[in-house]
Amino acid sequence: MLRWIISAVIVLLFVSVLYLLSYVGSASKLYGNVYSITEKGIPVYSLRSSSDVYSFWKSHGFRGRVVLHLGRYLHFVQVDETEIYLGKGKFPVKTSIMIKEYEQKLDNRNFLWIVMQGNIARQIINVLPPDAFREKLSGIGDDLTGISLTGHEIITHYLGSRRVITDRIPALREPVLINIDASYFEYSDAESLLSELRHSGITTDMITFCFAEDNPEVTEKERQRLDEFAVILLGKKV
Amino acid sequence: MKHFYILLLVITILGAFMRVYKIQEQPPIMDEVQVAFSSENYMERGQFGPTMPNHPNLRNILVYASMKTIGTDAYGLRVFSLFLGMLGIPLLGLLVYRITDNVSASCFSAFFLAVDPVHITFSRQAIQEVHTAFFFLLGVYFVATGLRARFPSEVKDTINKKHILFIMPEVVFPLAGISFGLGLASKAHALFPMLVCFFYSVYVAIRLKESKGTLVLFLVSLTILPLTVYLLTYLPWFARGYGLFDWLFMQKSLMEMTATHTGNPMDSMIDLRPGLWFIKPFMGYGNFTHFEGKPFVTIAMGNPLVWMLVIPSTVYLFFKNVKGRWMLLVLFLVSYLPLVFSSRPIWVLSSIAVTPFAYGIVGVTVSEVANRLGRKALYVYVGLTLSVSILFYPMTNGRAWKFDYLRPFIERLNPHEQEILKGDLRNR
């Protein structure tokens, strides 16, 4: 009888741990008020650079979120950590807070990587213009380690955190943080993006428009198209 | 029996001395510096890395606890490696005794581990290799205790109810499950001895027509309980907002990363084939660092007088009817063969996942042979083994470069002399 009881306690413990971890995960996600894309009064913010987007999300206290980033670039270049450890090879080891080190090197190339390091995002979805997506797809090569491909999605991970690279807006049940980068509009037009967004059924706390002034690859024409998109979405300039 | 415990204590003190001696004067290697960062990064923010992000996280939890209580000096970072490295010595002795009832074999096994330069090297570093070995040895010890055989050594290894004594399975099997869980949370190597114990326990329970309650206890203790412990160590990661399906995705992704890992820049890119560990002498794993203008070189290299006996001893035990041989052989082969047949490079540091069982096999063989050859030959062998370990000792604590006779080993592993692998881009 005792053996049955102990077995039952172990199973109960297992279920409790599953529940506890699940609860901790859910409770750690921080959302604001949630809106659908078509809803009036959806908060929209116009920001100059990716660093501004990072600071803006951070100041709002977002945590554990899915980020939907529309743009031509992935912004996921890992920060070179070499300097962080310089002179640290002695006892006592002087540690520093990694995210603070990364934030000092925040720029348009690594902004989404730091968003994930800073725990603002737990998953990042990069929606690329179709031509940019095709370019990424052809660059993958034969080694598919850590990558799975579907027709319109490259699913990969960063240390186990899911990253999706796609050329269309996926259907998502969870509210996401949307960032629309001016680089998205190199060839894409505002009307079709708006239509796709509206049909996706996606919900969000806010939309940020990033004019990518920190990215020399982005042209004024693309920024202008982003402006036009804002006008179509809101019926006025942001 | 009193002599056994005294001898085990003496061997443990010898091993402890070799692990602790001048530990505070040994500067941290880059992995250890990054372990300090990784511990805080994990415990305070749930992030993996910067070092070994693909491995489980118990090391981060332990090192974080010791850093916060002791500080970030040598003891603060290394205390768990030192402690678990030392405790692993008598634990192996007790385990081999539990399996074989052979006092001298048990003492030899403990002695080989105590003076093993690889085990000493990693007991002196704040990484998880010796943690893993300690926890899986503890798990196997509990299972061996739970299924304690009471038949004398001359009886064949057939399982018979009157020969098996179940000792407090309600206590020891859950303890085994917790130990294996901690082992898995240190490194995946703990999986193999756990599987052996799981299948063996279930086999014994079925064969002896034990009650369903016993069988279920074995099943949940050696599957669900380790998984529970393993899962709990991911609590800081869940606090980043993840759910259980995210966890499964992460586990799959990181396992794939581990399975395809081909090294980091500056890793030694020789001695990567575990199939040669016990055939080719002087295989090693080097770490090069600078401190106050001086080089510090640690090289983890097995003692060839023990390592070269592993294969002959394995063959010997296949044919020699000695109590507990099958348990030792299966534990060794099931832990070792997956590494031998792995398609990715495996460094010598991983030998710690295998050598405790190998030393059990060599210990039994040496004890058998010593009965025939006499004590004199035994003393000579033990003396030579200890001498080689003492000669190799400067390699375990970073001072190899001070000794000319060790230069060939340093030069052999010097990364500047080798083709430096660019590393798995997804891991960098």
Q: Report the percentage of chain B scoring pLDDT > 70.
A: 92
Residues B346-405: tens digit of each pLDDT: 999 999 999 999 999 999 999 999 988 988 999 999 999 999 999 999 999 999 989 999
Whole-number mean pLDDT of chain B? 92
B234: contact with A, CB 8 A cutoff: yes
Helix (H, G, I), strand (E, B) or coil at A203: strand
CA nearest A25: which of A68, A62, A69, A63?
Answer: A63
pLDDT for B420: 45
Q: Is the pTM of this model over 0.90?
A: yes
Q: Do A91 and B72 touch (CB under 8 A)?
A: yes
Residues A44-98: tens digit of each pLDDT: 999 999 999 999 999 999 999 999 999 999 999 999 998 899 888 899 999 999 9
Structural tokens at position B110 = 């403990």
Q: How confident is the model at residue A134 (pLDDT cuts 50, 70, 90)?
A: very high
Structural tokens at position B401 = 């470069």
Query: Quick one: average pLDDT of B182-186?
Result: 98
Contact list in A for residue B234 (CB cut-off 8 A) is 21
pLDDT for B426: 34
Structural tokens at position B180 = 């294996």
Query: Quick one: average pLDDT of B233-259?
Result: 97
Interface test with A, best of B231, B426, B427, B428 (most A CBs within 10 A): B426
Residues B296-326: tens digit of each pLDDT: 899 999 999 999 999 999 999 999 999 999 9
Residues B144-178: tens digit of each pLDDT: 999 876 544 444 555 566 556 677 889 999 999 99
Residues A214-232: tens digit of each pLDDT: 999 999 999 999 999 988 8
B45: contact with A, CB 8 A cutoff: yes
Tell me what ipTM this predicted complex has: 0.95
Q: How many helices (H) and strands (E) does chain A have?
A: 7, 9
Q: Do A10 and B73 touch (CB under 8 A)?
A: no
Distance of CA A161 to the CA centre of its chain: 11
Instruction: Give the integer Cα–Cα distance in Å for B185 and B383.
Output: 37
The minimal CB distance from A146 to the residues B28, B36, B426 is found for B426
Instruction: Give the integer Cα–Cα distance in Å for B262 and B235.
Output: 29
pLDDT for B159: 57
Instruction: Give the integer Cα–Cα distance in Å for A182 and A224.
Output: 8
Instruction: Give the integer Cα–Cα distance in Å for B179 and B136.
Output: 6
pLDDT for B154: 43
B218: contact with A, CB 8 A cutoff: no
* Contacting residues for B422 by C-beta, under 8 A, at least 6 apart: B265
Instruction: Provide the β-strand partners of residue B300.
Output: B285
* Contacting residues for B15 by C-beta, under 8 A, at least 6 apart: B85, B86, B89, B110, B113, B114, B115, B120
Q: How confident is the model at residue A142 (pLDDT cuts 50, 70, 90)?
A: confident
Burial of A182 (0-12, 13-18, 19+ CB in 10 A): buried
pLDDT for A180 beyond 70: yes
